[in-house]
Amino acid sequence: MMQRSISERLMLAFYVMLGSIIALLISSLPYATAEETSEWHSIEFIGVEKLPETPEAIQAGKALYRKKCVWCHGISGKGDGPIAFQMGAPGNPRPRDLTKGMYKFRSTPSGKLPTDEDLFLTITRGLSGTSMPAWRGLTETQRWQLVYYTKTLSGKFLIEPPAVPIEIGREIPLTYESRKQGREFYIKFQCWQCHGTSGRGDGPAAVDQKDEWNNPNPPTNLMNPEEYKGGRSPRDIYRTLATGLGGASMPAFYPALSDEQLWHLANYVASLAERGNR
């Protein structure tokens, strides 16, 4: 057997140590790796550090809210700002009433409050196809401040414990087979009732759909990539399907459907958006 020299052994020990130090560093970084955040938020959170929720942060958020958000969401958050009346037609929803604590875009189960990260994501990305702007122009610190102030507008955040995101299994690759399965589930689980057999949002149950606040709220045209408010990667769509959209007729399919069924459906829907994109 070959004998290792002392210097070789030392080198080996050195590399092992270096490796563990690097691993330790990586694991202690907040939102450091895509793997860690892959739950829902993936790229938007890489390198983002969470601001602590302090009274000062909430105060700063309040000042920002009064400058940027009141126009639509109103002083008290009821969704009755001075320009809110311009919205409310089908396909142009009214600003959310933030006093109710009911949210469409969550990583948490149906009926639960969103996480801070969910709110951060909505504020960062905005809601495509609606008047809710993306606020990437604000610093991350400012966006966290807005998250914390937004939470004070509804008493629910005080009384309900913070909700835990739904766990999502390993991604099933977007293959022809997976899309085909997804298409079958799309028919089987009645998505077509609202979204139509072709996905254009023209199913038999689509007529006159209203949201919780009695505003027109038609099903999304899944062929139109611009209409996806919560993102249109398979992972985003998985989230939409699993959690449903609070206040809209879009149901939550977790835990009724299995992880695998949800992935196939998400892959099929993502391919519809992709086709519409061409």
Residues forming the site for ligand HEC (CB under 6 A): 68-69, 71-73, 87, 93-96, 103-105, 119, 122-123, 127, 130-133, 135, 146, 150, 186, 189-191, 193-195, 205, 209, 217, 219-220, 222, 228-230, 237, 240-241, 245, 248-251, 253, 265, 269
Looking at the Cβ atoms of 37 and 98, the one nearer to ligand HEC is 98
Rounded Cα distance between 93 and 141, Å, is 28
Q: Quick one: 172 or 191, whose CB is closer to ligand HEC?
A: 191
- In the complex, the smallest distance separating the C-beta of residue 53 from ligand HEC, rounded to whole angstroms, is 15
* Minimum separation from the CB atom of position 111 to ligand HEC (A): 13
Nearer to ligand HEC, 15 or 71 (CB): 71
- Is the CB of residue 73 less than 8 Å from the CB of residue 133? no
Q: HSE (CB half, 13 Å, CA atoms) of 3? A: 2
CB of 229 to ligand HEC, least distance (A): 4
What is the CB neighbour count within 10 angstroms for residue 232? 24
**Tokens 């909700």, residue located:** 163
At what angle are helices 259-277 and 234-243 packed, to 10 degrees? Answer: 130
Q: Using the minimum distance from each CB to ligand HEC, give the nearer residue, 115 or 240.
A: 240
Tokens of 244: 């449903």
Smallest distance, ligand HEC to C-beta of residue 26, A: 31
The phi, psi pair for 210, rounded to 5°, reads -120, 155
DSSP string, 123-144: HHH--TTSS----TTS-HHHHH
Phi first, then psi, for residue 50 (nearest 5°) are -80, 130
- Least distance in angstroms from the C-beta of 201 to ligand HEC: 8
> Which residues touch 56 (CB under 8 Å, ≥6 apart)?
none
- What's the min distance (Å) between Cβ of 12 and ligand HEC? 51
Q: Which residues contact 182 (CB under 8 A, 6 or more apart)?
A: 264, 265, 266, 267, 268, 269, 271
Q: How many CB atoms lie within 10 A of CB 115?
A: 20
Q: Which is nearer to ligand HEC, 37 or 103 (CB)?
A: 103
Contact assessment for residue 71 and residue 64, using Cβ atoms and an 8 Å cutoff: no
C-beta closer to ligand HEC: residue 174 or 194 = 194
CB of 164 to ligand HEC, least distance (A): 17
Q: 9 or 180, CB closer to ligand HEC?
A: 180
